[in-house]
A = this chain, B = another copy of it.
Amino acid sequence: MTEPSGAERDPKAVSKFVESFAAQLVEAGMQRMSARVFAALLSSDSGTMTSVELGEQLQISPAAVSGAVRYLAQVHMVSREREPGSRRERYRVHSNQWYEALTNREAIMKRWEDALREGVTSLGAETPAGRRLAETLAFFEFMESELRAMMERWRVHRERHFGDG
């Protein structure tokens, strides 16, 4: 089990990583096929794969690839690009994928906040329940601004350590 040297990639090793990382994503709530596709892209040297390549490596149908990619694109974890002069599409992981994913997370929090705000007014801001909801709401608003600042710090940190991949 020594480190691969140079050009060769051990499909076994790749597959092992793909499946174990995907399993963790699934456990955290991601759909299985999306998780596997994402892990495969993440562990590819170029950071891009075609639909066919994904289907072959993961042993899944074109339909499954299509569904997985649609979801991943929707949450901005993968982008699609057309190979010039070809009907073949390439799917790519962003270097700032996590930034995108977190930004997307904010949209979800916004909807939570909306529901909470409604709850505060309808239950009454001065009732114990209303106060609890208000505090919860405040927490999310706090988190939102903190996350923004945090991502900016990451951008800086990353540039220092990894250059601008």
* Interface 1/0 per residue, A105-120 and B, CB below 8 Å: 0001001100110110
* Interface 1/0 per residue, A17-35 and B, CB below 8 Å: 1001100110111000000
Tell me whether B21 and A115 are in contact (CB under 8 A). yes
Contacts A27-B108, A123-B13, A125-B3 hold; do A20 and B118 have CB atoms under 8 A apart? yes
Overall SS of chain A's interface:
helix
The closest CB in chain B to the CB of A153 belongs to: B146
Most buried by B among A132, A150, A154, A158: A132
A34 to B30, CA, bound (A): 18
Tell me whether A21 and B116 are in contact (CB under 8 A). yes
* Interface 1/0 per residue, A129-145 and B, CB below 8 Å: 10111011011001100
A158 to B137, CA, bound (A): 12
User: Which one of B27, B44, B153 contacts A129 once the chains associate, using CB atoms below 8 Å?
Assistant: B44
Tell me whether A42 and B162 are in contact (CB under 8 A). no
Tell me whether B133 and A162 are in contact (CB under 8 A). no
- Interface size for chain A: under 10, 10 to 19, 20 to 34, or 35 or more residues? 35 or more
A150 to B146, CA, bound (A): 7
Most buried by B among A10, A24, A118, A135: A24
The closest CB in chain B to the CB of A12 belongs to: B122
| 12 further interface pairs, Cβ-Cβ under 8 Å (given A20-B118, A42-B136, A43-B119) | A3-B125, A4-B127, A21-B119, A25-B112, A27-B108, A28-B112, A45-B127, A45-B128, A98-B136, A142-B154, A142-B157, A146-B154
